[in-house]
Amino acid sequence: MAYLTVNIDPIATIRQARRTDEPDPVWAAALCELAGTNGITVHLRQDRRHINDRDVRLLKETVASKFNLEMSLAEPIVRIAEKVRPDQVTLVPENRAELTTEGGLNCAGQQKRLAQIVKRMHRKDILVSTFILPDEKQILASAEAGCDAVELHTGPYANAKTDSRIETTLNQLRDGRDIAAAAGLIVHAGHGLTYRNIRPVARIEGICEFNIGHSIIARAVLVGIRQATEEMIRLIEQ
């Protein structure tokens, strides 16, 4: 059975739209845990556009399931991870202009830096995963650097428009899983997964963890809007 970790960055994005204190991602994490999630993910970006240092500190103290910190390889962020000690870090590429994480991490092109970070994280008992395209070179580079897991990028699958493209991207994920498993890596997957497209990926055996954010938070807004409206009407009427 695969696990779900909920990426709650979009909660912080809504908060930051007004620079206020609601909705609090720490409360959202607790509610996801009450609903049974196996983990909580946040991305502490260098520009702090959504999740901030306070969120990471409090989530480390309050998340009872797995706390997964997504981050770039930038030194100030690596130092924060060493201090906070999440259960896992997922290393991602970070580009200031992007709306969300775009391509996979180029592990083969920065293997020395990657291996140094893995060593530093392991010294603090933090598991290390890399967010990569299901590409043999990147998977093997992650394994050689000593990573524990890889998160296979499901963006190309999520963006596939035709049946044949969907099948090709699913096969790439299956091949990636096989290569990663043979190299001793745990296999995660994520990005762009929704209530509509999750089923075929969830059927791929050997993927242990799905990291899903936008679609869950988007649905939460809509399934919760009726109650929220009714509560405000009640307050006005009183």
Instruction: Give the binding site for ligand PXP (CB under 6 A).
Output: 7, 9, 43, 70, 90, 92, 100-101, 131, 151, 190-193, 211-215
Q: Indicate which residue of 50, 153, 188, 191 is catalytic.
A: 191
Compare residues 100 and 116 and give the one whose CB is closer to ligand PXP: 100
The rounded distance, in Å, linking the Cα atoms of 85 and 26 is 17
**To the nearest whole angstrom, how small is the minimum distance from the Cβ of residue 142 to ligand PXP?**
13
188 labelled catalytic: no
CA 125 to chain centroid: 19
Classified as helix, coil or strand, 192 is coil
70 labelled catalytic: yes
- Contact by Cβ (8 Å): 107, 92: no
Contacts of residue 13, defined as CB under 8 A and 6 or more positions apart, other chains included, come to 49, 50
Structure tokens at 181: 């498993």
**To the nearest whole angstrom, how small is the minimum distance from the Cβ of residue 102 to ligand PXP?**
9
Compare residues 121 and 164 and give the one whose CB is closer to ligand PXP: 121
Phi-psi region of 113 (alpha: psi -120 to 50; beta: other; left: phi over 0): alpha
**To the nearest whole angstrom, how small is the minimum distance from the Cβ of residue 234 to ligand PXP?**
33
214 labelled catalytic: no
Compare residues 187 and 193 and give the one whose CB is closer to ligand PXP: 193
Type of residue at 76: P
Q: Nearest-CB residue to ligand PXP?
A: 213
Q: For residue 109, what is the DSSP state?
A: G
Which residue numbers are catalytic? 43, 70, 191
